[in-house]
Amino acid sequence: MHRFFSSRRLVIVALSVITCLGLMTLSVAVRNRRSTPPVVQQFGNDVAGFADRVVSLPADGIGAGANSLAQLLNTYDENQKLKQQVDQMAQDKVRLQTAEQENKELRQEAKLNKSLSDYQSLTASVIARTPSSWQSQLIIGKGSANGVKKNMPVLAGKGLIGRVVEVNQTNSKVELISDDNENANRFAIQVTSKKGETVNGIVTGYDADKNVLEMGQITTKTKLENGDQVATSGLGGVTPKGLYVGKVVGITNDDYGHASKVAIRPAGKLGSVNIVTVAAKNQAGDE
Amino acid sequence: MKATRIKWFSALGLAICIFLDGAISQQLAGQLFTNGAKLVPELTTLWLLATAFFEDEIHVPTYWFAIVAGIVFDLFYAGYWGIYLFIFPVVVWLARTLRQYLPVNLFATLLVGFLGFAIQPLFSWIALRLIGLTSVSLADFMVVSLAPTLALNEVLLMIFYLPLRKLYLRHN
């Protein structure tokens, strides 16, 4: 029986461990610093993305079939509810149009061409998800060729779900707010209280057990309540203002009665997402 | 002639498994990745293990397969280099080493599978802890990720054992 660890094998193992650790450290640095990955990586990813579409097409078909079967079962209930909502929608739409028009006129009056809430949306299909317990990442089928840029916020379902972390030519990676990476959920947000007052802050963490985002370190006298709406504040970075994040579901008060930690239930769909929207902020002098 | 055909078959199967991992994770994300249990499909690991464990006299270049699979996983899925590039060759090495000591039957295959399927979550957890991308504790890792993932993939291996084994036996 040969020895389990010959000296030659030991050297090979040691070398490969060191090489892989080096590569990992290097790639973290590259990923944090640069807006696009190296050309070789981009090319590899574009090829892989193409191959993935070929393989995942039947899988998507089966998934869609199963989904529609499940949806068929509660169609009737939903239909009743939706009918009521549609009536409401028509009214809201008219109101929105009027408000938008008024907003535009007022902005012209104030000579404000670009505001924090201006953004263009790009719709992209999700082509794969990282098969890992820790990295909650989606690979979406639009890349720099379609105008996706690093750090753009991504929405699905009703609200914000994450941000773009890597951009290739024809596909990009989106890190969800449920990702373990501590930077994944740092969004500048704004809570609007029932009285219309706003509290600015930053998402400081994500509690996977409770599925809530935490907004900490707040010192304000504004009284916040459960059910208050949370949206992005548009301050700093490329995230536009007014993207819906979720609702307040819990407030932990400190000794002085100021809200110090707010728990927010995200409105975005973090599970099986097939279509996402990338929100691109219109920055002054961008066009 | 036959040996060449099965080599191409293994390569094609591997490529399909690599992308199926991502497609399954994406389609069934709501069911597979809940907060209490995370079941990661490891079809790529399964395919590599089965190829390395069953190949016998065919001499499939399993190490090269593992390296290619590792590169695709690192670039396309993880976005960090060097994680799966390390994991997959270790998985192949494990299967090839154990093949010398174990008989090839269902029980031995499941045992090798158990070790192989544990390597992927274990090493990727260690790697992500090292570069500071996760803060999951050991206890959480074992209960939430490792155990459910092992269970899912052992069942998959049990299903795939017979067809794959028969295929490699026929070509030997």
Question: Using the beta-carbon criterion (under 8 Å), do B134 and A41 form an inter-chain contact?
Answer: no
**Is pLDDT of A69 > 90?**
no
User: What ipTM does the predicted assembly reach?
Assistant: 0.85
Is residue B152 predicted with pLDDT exceeding 90?
yes
Question: B19 vs A129: CB contact, 8 Å cut-off?
Answer: no
Compare CB distances from A181 to B16, B130, B133 and report the shortest one's residue.
B133
- pLDDT digit string, tens, across residues B3-22: 788 888 889 999 999 988 88
Query: Does residue A219 have a pLDDT over 70?
Result: no
- For residue A258, the model assigns a pLDDT of 60
Residue A43 lies in a domain: no
Phi, psi of A64 (to 5 degrees): -65, -40
Scan for tokens 């640095």, then name that residue: A29
Please indicate, yes or no, if residue A136 is contained in any of the structural domains: yes
Residue A257 sits in which domain range?
120-282
The answer to whether A55 contacts B15, with C-beta atoms less than 8 Å apart, is yes
Q: Fill in the DSSP letter of residue A268.
A: B
Chain A within 8 Å of B139 (Cβ-Cβ)? no
Cβ–Cβ under 8 Å, residues B88 and B98: no
Burial of A229 per CB tally in 10 Å (0-12, 13-18, 19+): middle
pLDDT at A10 over 50: yes
Choose the closest CB to B19 out of A52, A137, A180.
Answer: A52
Residues 162-221 of chain A with CB under 8 A from chain B are: 165-166, 173, 180-182, 208-209, 211
Whole-number average pLDDT of chain A: 81
Q: Amino acid letter at A88?
A: Q
Residue B88 has pLDDT above 90, yes or no: yes
Which chain A residue lies closest to B39 (C-alpha atoms)?
Answer: A133
Give residue B31's domain range.
2-170
* B81 lies within 8 A of chain A by CB: yes
pLDDT reading at A141 higher than 60: yes
pLDDT grade, residue A212 (50/70/90)? Answer: confident
**Domains in chain B: how many in total?**
1
Minimum Cα–Cα distance from A56: chain B residue: B23
Q: How many domains are contained in chain A?
A: 1
Which of B32, B75, B153 to mutate against chain A (most A CBs within 10 Å)? B75
Chain B residue with the nearest C-alpha to that of A51 = B19
CATH no. for residue B92? 1.10.1760
Q: What is the nearest CA distance from A62 to chain B, expressed in angstroms?
A: 9
Of the residues B76, B117, B130, B149, the best mutation for testing chain A's interface (the one with the most A CB atoms within 10 Å of its CB) is: B76
Please provide the DSSP assignment of B108-144 as one string: HHHHHHHHHHHHHHHHHHHHHHHTTS----HHHIIII
**Residue A169: in which H helix or E strand, if any?**
none
Is B33's CB within 8 Å of A133's CB?
yes
Residues 74-103 of A with CB under 8 A from B: none
Is A235 inside any structural domain?
yes
